[in-house]
């Protein structure tokens, strides 16, 4: 069905919270309002759409939110086709689409990461709902875009944390392991590790060998460098772990919980193992004899207001979304390509993850400044 012009859109934020969400909401809303489009805010992600919880966004509502962290709309990780409804997981796609039609939405704008891209595409393909998305994640792992909003802010936070760890590591001649977010992609750990001058950086894309790491750290000590910083992405795995995973594949004896710790099923009981970064610190201390400590940045990386770079990026992405809506250009993600913001088909985005290529220039730079990446010496 063709339309001359969009008259009403919905906007929601889904997945984890992230610096820049409010700035992006503001950008989309202001641009849409400029083109005469009514804007409805959907509360708490896709669950709010299913439960029909909304608020109208006008100039007053989005004024003054550019610098604020979090999201004024709230968020959740609920999927429209797999939603917990009173203890029972149900497919609520039909309800979500019916509510969108009841609200007379021409388009649903979804701000989120990889999961949100998939959920938005599902609503379009299964329910016929026109959608438009913006890439949000501190992991920077959404494909099709040079960068996702939230990454720059988190990169600054993680870098500052590593900077601060240098002083205590130097004072006590310790090894400090700093765990950074990044389940499947190492962009944040790699970027913060390089910017913060970490001596070792462990990322999911490069399986590590702790004995090689320990040898490297001992070599540093022999050359008079009496402290070291190890930046590790939460999804980093050793070569041995990967081999073990292959052996255990299909046996369902090992899986991960939301905190990134392992749950081992033994005789029907669940045994929660120590966090990965803690284990790495303990084993490094055993291998080197050097005192090691661990710091996990956790949700600190996702908190607070957005950086100036992210504020600018969110405004550019949001206003581009408003332009596309005014032209009835739907079912795309607004991506950053060089100096431009461009529409990318959701089919090319959903279900994929942007990981760090082994030949990426950052990898080469890290090795040239004598950073150990876990698998070999620089």
Residues near 340 by beta carbon (within 8 Å), at least 6 away in sequence: none
Q: What are phi and psi of 322, to 5 degrees?
A: -60, -40
CA distances from 341 to 266, 349, 371 (A): 51, 15, 34
215-222: long-range pairs with CB below 8 Å, 24+: 215/377, 216/372, 216/377, 217/175, 217/284, 217/288, 217/290, 218/288, 218/290, 219/377, 221/288, 221/290
Neighbours of 84 (CB within 10 A): 12
| Residue position matching structure tokens 């609520």 | 92
Written as six digits, the tokens of 216 are 């490297």
Instruction: Mark out the alpha helices in the chain (DSSP H runs).
Output: 21-34, 45-50, 59-62, 93-102, 114-127, 151-172, 187-196, 210-222, 239-248, 276-288, 308-326, 361-368
Let me know if 163 is a catalytic residue: no
Q: Nearest Cα to 203, choosing from 228, 233, 158, 242?
A: 233
Please give the Cα distance from 330 to 322 (Å, whole number).
11
Q: Of 78, 106, 139, 152, which is the active-site residue? A: 139
Which residues form the catalytic set? 139
């Amino acid at each position: 069905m063709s339309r001359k012009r969009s008259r009403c859109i919905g906007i929601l934020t889904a997945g984890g919270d992230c610096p820049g969400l409010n700035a992006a909401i503001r950008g989309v809303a202001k641009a849409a309002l400029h083109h005469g489009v009514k804007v409805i805010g959907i509360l708490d992600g896709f669950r709010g759409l299913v439960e029909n919880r909304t608020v109208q966004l006008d100039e007053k509502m989005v004024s003054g939110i550019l610098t604020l962290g979090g999201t004024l709309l709230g968020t959740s990780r609920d999927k429209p086709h797999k939603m917990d409804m009173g203890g029972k997981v149900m497919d609520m796609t039909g309800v979500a689409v019916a509510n969108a039609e009841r609200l007379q939405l021409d388009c649903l704008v979804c701000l989120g990461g990889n999961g949100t891209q998939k959920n938005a595409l599902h609503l379009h393909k299964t329910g016929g709902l026109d959608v438009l998305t913006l890439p949000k994640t501190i992991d920077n792992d959404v494909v099709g875009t040079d960068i996702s909003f939230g990454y720059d802010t988190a990169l600054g936070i993680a870098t500052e944390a590593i900077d601060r760890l240098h002083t205590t590591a130097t004072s006590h001649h310790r090894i400090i392991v700093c765990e950074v977010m990044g389940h499947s992609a190492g962009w944040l750990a790699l970027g913060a590790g390089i910017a913060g001058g970490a001596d070792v950086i462990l990322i999911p894309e490069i399986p590590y060998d702790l004995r090689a790491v320990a040898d490297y750290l001992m070599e540093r000590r022999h050359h008079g460098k009496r402290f070291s910083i190890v930046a590790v992405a939460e999804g980093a795995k050793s070569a041995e772990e990967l081999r073990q995973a292959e052996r255990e594949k299909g046996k369902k004896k090992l899986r991960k919980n939301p905190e990134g710790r392992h749950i081992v099923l033994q005789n029907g009981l669940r045994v929660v193992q120590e966090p990965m970064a803690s284990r790495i610190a303990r084993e490094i201390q055993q291998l080197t004899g050097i005192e090691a400590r661990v710091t996990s940045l956790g949700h600190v990386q996702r908190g607070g207001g957005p950086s100036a770079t992210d504020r600018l990026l969110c405004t550019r992405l949001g206003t581009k979304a408003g332009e596309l809506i005014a032209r009835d250009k739907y079912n795309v993600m607004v991506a950053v390509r060089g100096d431009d913001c461009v529409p990318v088909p959701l089919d090319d985005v959903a279900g994929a993850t942007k990981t760090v290529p082994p030949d990426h220039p950052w990898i080469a730079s890290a090795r040239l400044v004598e950073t150990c990446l876990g698998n070999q010496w620089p």
